[in-house]
């Protein structure tokens, strides 16, 4: 499973990119406002930190205006992936952009039928929002499972990008359900490596090693 980092904080992206574990980045208008930075400037900097897709979201609501914004964003770097909302206008823009060979991430997906439409529109990625469904007491993971079945039934190549991930358990469950990608907040990515028994075991090994009086180098 590929890991995208879900942030517009370039310091966090730089730190995580250095691990070699990051395959791309997703942003949205809320993450841009949180960064406090100019949209195009921050997208350009992120595109220099990763070779993978960097999702940049349009804000227009009508197809033609979405396409005009997309053309502007595509000038920033080769790895810009245009993020479009799951509306009829967004799907029309998706079809036009993917027909031209551009990457598109269709966002704000909350149903399997929406995901089916995005695949038919040629989306590169579909972003089902797990956490926001869980917030409403609807099982977000069931949506990932349903989309996996539908895409496999018809051989759709659209990648399932599990989004709105809040916990390490969401990452594990997305992987088990066959999501192709998970976009994960930096804090959750860092938490994946942690286990108290790892810390305890390491401490014991180092204490015993010290007793040997030896050194590897
Ligand atoms: C990513 O593409 C989404 O914009 C993001 O995962 C949304 O997460 P949230 O529901 O925590 O805002």
**Ligand 1 centroid from CA 163, angstroms:** 6
Angle of CA points 128, 132, 134, to nearest 5°: 100
Closest ligand 1 atom, residue 161 Cα: 2
> Catalytic residues, which ones?
83
Q: How far apart are CA 149 and CA 152, in angstroms?
A: 5
Is position 217 within any domain? no
Q: How far apart are CA 44 and CA 115, in angstroms?
A: 29
How many independent structural domains does the chain possess? 1
Task: Assign 3-class secondary structure to 92-156.
Answer: HHHHHHHHCCCCEEEEEECCHHHHHHHHHCCCCEEEEEHHHHHCCCCCHHHHHHHHHHHHHHHCC
- Asked if residues 70 and 22 have their Cβ atoms less than 8 Å apart, the reply is no
The predicted structure's pLDDT at residue 98: 98
Residue 132: give its domain's CATH number: 3.20.20.70
**Ligand 1 centroid from CA 198, angstroms:** 30
The predicted structure's pLDDT at residue 43: 98
Is position 105 within any domain? yes
- Asked if residues 102 and 69 have their Cβ atoms less than 8 Å apart, the reply is no
Is position 31 within any domain? yes
110 lines ligand 1 (CB under 6 A): no
167 lines ligand 1 (CB under 6 A): no
> Side-chain half-sphere of 185: how many Cα atoms within 13 Å?
11
Q: How far apart are CA 115 and CA 120, in angstroms?
A: 9
Closest ligand 1 atom, residue 83 Cα: 2
Is position 96 within any domain? yes
107 lines ligand 1 (CB under 6 A): yes
Range of 205's domain? Answer: 2-212
Q: How far apart are CA 170 and CA 173, in angstroms?
A: 5
Is position 190 within any domain? yes
Is position 38 within any domain? yes
Is position 66 within any domain? yes
Instruction: Give Cα 122 distance to the centre of its chain.
Output: 18
Per-residue pLDDT of the chain (217 residues; tens, 9 = 90+): 999 999 999 999 999 999 999 999 999 999 999 999 999 999 999 999 999 999 999 999 999 999 999 999 999 999 999 999 999 999 999 999 999 999 999 999 999 999 999 999 999 999 999 999 999 999 999 999 999 999 999 999 999 999 999 999 999 999 999 999 999 999 999 999 999 999 999 999 999 999 999 999 9
Is position 32 within any domain? yes
């Amino acid at each position: 499973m590929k890991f995208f980092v879900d942030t517009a904080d370039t310091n966090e992206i730089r730190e995580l990119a250095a691990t070699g574990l990051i395959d791309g980045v997703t942003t949205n208008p809320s993450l841009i406002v949180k960064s406090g930075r100019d949209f195009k400037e921050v997208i350009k900097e992120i595109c220099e930190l990763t070779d993978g897709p960097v999702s940049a979201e349009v804000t227009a609501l009508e197809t033609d205006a979405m396409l005009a914004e997309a053309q502007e964003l595509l000038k920033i770097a080769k790895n810009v992936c245009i993020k479009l909302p799951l509306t009829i206008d967004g799907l029309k823009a998706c079809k036009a952009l993917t027909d031209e060979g551009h990457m598109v991430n269709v966002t704000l997906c909350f149903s399997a039928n929406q995901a089916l439409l995005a695949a038919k529109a040629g989306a590169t990625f579909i972003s089902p929002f797990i956490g926001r469904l869980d917030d409403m007491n609807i099982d977000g993971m069931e949506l990932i499972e349903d989309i996996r079945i539908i895409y496999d039934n018809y051989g759709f190549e659209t990648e399932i990008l599990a989004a709105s991930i809040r916990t390490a358990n969401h990452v594990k469950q997305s992987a088990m359900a066959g999501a192709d990608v998970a976009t994960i907040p930096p804090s959750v990515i860092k938490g994946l490596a942690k286990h108290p028994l790892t810390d305890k075991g390491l401490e014991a090994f180092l204490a015993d090693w010290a007793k040997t009086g030896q050194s590897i180098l």
